[in-house]
Structure 1
Amino acid sequence: MTLFVPGPLAAEIEAVRHVVDPIQKRLIPAHVTLCREDELGRLSEMELDARLLSPHLKPVTLRFGEPEAFHGHGIVMYGIEGLEDFRFLRQTILGALDLKPQRPHITLAHPRNPQAPGNSLDRAAGLRTLPPINFNTLCLIEQVMGSPWQVLRSIELSAS
């Protein structure tokens, strides 16, 4: 389950991803992973449906720090604000208070992909001052055999 970066900010981030890791950009748009498949796999389809209809699911606003290198040529931006709301959204969906920690992040370049010629922190420097990002939609996604990720279902998060 993921939160795709919306609107004009997505275009700005995608322009950087196109240079630093075009393979990752082709596989999945800029996003924040909310729940991983091993976590969702603990829920039946009926349980998940009920939780996705919860009135407690609210939009999340996250602000991200400067791009950082990780695991060699990976580049990531970690969430630095809105972390508690992110955790609450995960708890509401997964129904557990003892969740494994998950720090929201946007992967600009994934180290499992070959290093692109334009892969450098300098190329990602323009993203240092991104404004907070409002996530109003969560998506259940799936990847089959290394192909691009597909959206199976979208859920609008209500502010009321």
Structure 2
Amino acid sequence: MPRPTRRQLTLFLPPAQQAIVEPIRQRLDPRQHALVPAHVTLCRDDELPSLDVVDRRLADLGAFAFTMHFSGPQRLADGAILLRPTLGTDSYQRVRQSILGSSAKVHGAHITLLHPRHATDSTFDPSEIAPLLTGLTATFRIITLIEQCGQGPWRVRQEYGALT
């Protein structure tokens, strides 16, 4: 049975940071790299309200900007390799709260370099890429609604926020 359509709100990395992160993601996890560019998930598909509510709350949010500063890569027990922010999480949580309202739970912001479902054979040592990624800083000004049909690549459906 095919997987249903999924939607999520995403913070794509700005171009300068993508230029650093994407070659690493492509090398570590070419399958995930082919599905979606480097990003921080803002709201997962299982927590999103209806699209009408999302549109209204993002319109109310208007223009915004916040900066996240990331630590070096971390390997988790499931094999995933992530970048976690050391600064900017309060702003991230406030934006989530403005979109999800009272149902917003604290969500650990991160950039996935190697997805756990692709990590079974990985013997990669995160210290090899740490010098390139430690201290990565990104300012987010755009929230993107993306959609995945089945197991296909994620597609941009709508962008919200300042485009300058």
TM-score, normalization by structure 2: 0.85
- 1:10-159 equivalences in 2 (<5 Å): 10-40=18-48, 43-55=49-61, 58-96=64-102, 99-115=104-120, 119-157=124-162
Between stretches 141-150 and 128-137, larger displacement belongs to 128-137
Task: Give CA deviations for 1:56-114 in whole Å, capped at 9, x if unaligned.
Answer: 55212101111000134210011110111101100111122x52220110000011015
User: Counterpart of 1:93 in structure 2: which amino acid?
Assistant: I
Question: Which ranges of structure 1 fall in alignment gaps of 5 or more residues?
Answer: none
Q: Offset of 1:117 from its aligned partner?
A: 5.9
- For the structure 1 residues 51 and 20, does the alpha-carbon distance in structure 2 shift closer, same or farther, using more than 3 Å as the test? same
Measured in 1, the distance between the counterparts of 2:104 and 2:152 equals 29
- For the structure 1 residues 124 and 82, does the alpha-carbon distance in structure 2 shift closer, same or farther, using more than 3 Å as the test? same
Measured in 1, the distance between the counterparts of 2:117 and 2:43 equals 20
Q: Offset of 1:144 from its aligned partner?
A: 1.3
**Equivalent residues of 1:57, 1:92 under 8 A apart:** no
- For the structure 1 residues 21 and 119, does the alpha-carbon distance in structure 2 shift closer, same or farther, using more than 3 Å as the test? farther
Aligned residues between the structures: 156
Measured in 2, the distance between the counterparts of 1:110 and 1:52 equals 28
- For the structure 1 residues 24 and 118, does the alpha-carbon distance in structure 2 shift closer, same or farther, using more than 3 Å as the test? farther
**Equivalent residues of 2:21, 2:133 under 8 A apart:** no
